[in-house]
Amino acid sequence: MDTENYSLLETQLSIGGSQLKTNSNAVSSIHFAGKVCVEQTSTSENESFSEMVPLEMYDYQEASMLSQSEGTYSVGQKIDDLLDMAIKCRTADGSVDPPGMSLLLDKLEEIDNTDDALIKFTKAVLGGVQVKLQKNSGGGAKGRSGAAIYFVYDGSAMVAVCKKFPTSEELVRELSSLSRLREPEFTCFKIPAPLAAAKIKDSDYAGVLVSKVAQGESIADLIDSITKATTISARKNILNQLQKAVVDIARALAQLHTEPIGSGNLALNSYLTKSINRVRHLVSVVAKEHAKLQDIFVFKIDEVRQQLDHLIEECCCEQSKAAIVHGDAHPGNLFWDSSVGVTFIDTPSLHYSMDSMGKPIGTPERDIASFEGRLVELCRKAGISENESKSFRDTFLNNYDAEKGGSLSEKKLKFFQLRFVLGELVQACNNERSKDIQGSKDIQEAIVSLKQILGWKN
């Protein structure tokens, strides 16, 4: 979900008695028609993605079931007006304009910090239908930034999704991104239609956004369904669907990266600099556990740092071509339906990749590295053969190129791949903080991936 939020609280994590400091672990919700899943992720800046698990595996409870009051909240400012106001929250360097944000927040309905208030607000948004909410009772269903997800049901049908944002800035960035993505120039993908937003009184969460449900299923779930196929024909059918989905995603990202006016111009240096700072932080986090990792996995952090510094120097010597980017384009945030096509969800980080006029300032390699690397990783975990996995990867890259997705820097692709894998290593250490890391398959897999990117022998 959210990525460039450097103000997130850091949590002390221990591995085998030592301390590892990183952003706190969380669970990211993935929502779509007919199915609900959650995704174990890291709150650190878009560097981790792990396997999807069914919602019912977590301790969920229905919150307040149905509102006991017949009174309803007014929907307040129309969503179209809010999306227009979010445009004025953009700046030249991709940050959020404080005065513009204040004006937008002043227009929002304010609701009490209760489940019943959220139900009544959602009921009003949906035209008065009786709704119930489903939430995680134990702190899950959260995104990387700590956003909480509520699933809205009318009877047995999921009809909407409520996302609570931990900061006003993240809510504003989401609205700004959605405003840009709904422009008619984009025809190869969709977004879940936003319906209404509100502030929340006296809460750890700053605001809530109610949206329609994304259609189809995430690419992560599609890949995971291969493990559940009981016949050869069923498996073949899923692989064929995945092939089509990968083609459509390549086209969608290519359009996002090239269609807006200004695509291909020079990117803003500060966009890459933020990721450089982030990856250096990740290396420092891993370094704190280097002794234990080295003893078990023959892992040399000094060589990692040396190669990283050289790669960063090479990246900085290149001129980056500008693009608007999703910013968190992992397979859990990209949905596909055979009829509807591609849908992007969780897009607040897109705001960082455009200037005050909505023109591109980001770098496309971030999205490509995120999707490509995690596509291969999830395929491997699902038991898909190396040749089949390579076929999906090549299909994605070839179709991206065929759609004139823009020339990509191999050095920047390697940099972002390294960044994401380092994040996965941090997340794996986080997950194993109370266990013996020697038996951690996730840590071993992350280090294997890291060595492959760096060209080391395993």
Q: Please, what is the Cα angle at 379 between 374 and 385, to 5 degrees?
A: 140
Name all domains of the chain by residue range, CATH numbers in brackets.
Answer: 10-216 (no CATH), 219-454 (3.90.1200.10)
- Each residue's pLDDT tens digit, 258-276: 999 999 999 999 999 999 9
Question: Residue 7: which pLDDT band, with cuts at 50, 70 and 90?
Answer: very low
Given a cut of 80, is residue 132 above it in pLDDT?
Answer: yes
- Each residue's pLDDT tens digit, 76-130: 568 999 999 999 999 999 999 999 999 999 999 999 999 899 999 999 999 988 8
Does the predicted TM-score (pTM) go above 0.85? Answer: no
Q: Which of 386, 366, 361, 360 is nearest to 452 (CA)?
A: 386
- Each residue's pLDDT tens digit, 285-330: 888 876 667 666 666 888 889 999 999 999 999 999 999 999 999 9
Question: Residue 12: which pLDDT band, with cuts at 50, 70 and 90?
Answer: very low
- Each residue's pLDDT tens digit, 378-431: 998 899 999 999 999 999 999 999 998 767 999 999 999 999 889 888 888 877
How does strand 217-218 pair with strand 157-165? unpaired
What is the torsion angle, in degrees rounded to the nearest 10, for the CA atoms of residue 296, residue 298, residue 302 and residue 304? -110
Distance CA 20, CA 165 (A): 27
The mean per-residue pLDDT over the stretch 132-160 comes to: 72
Given a cut of 70, is residue 200 above it in pLDDT?
Answer: yes
Helix axes 410-431, 301-317, angle to 10 degrees: 150
Given a cut of 50, is residue 216 above it in pLDDT?
Answer: yes
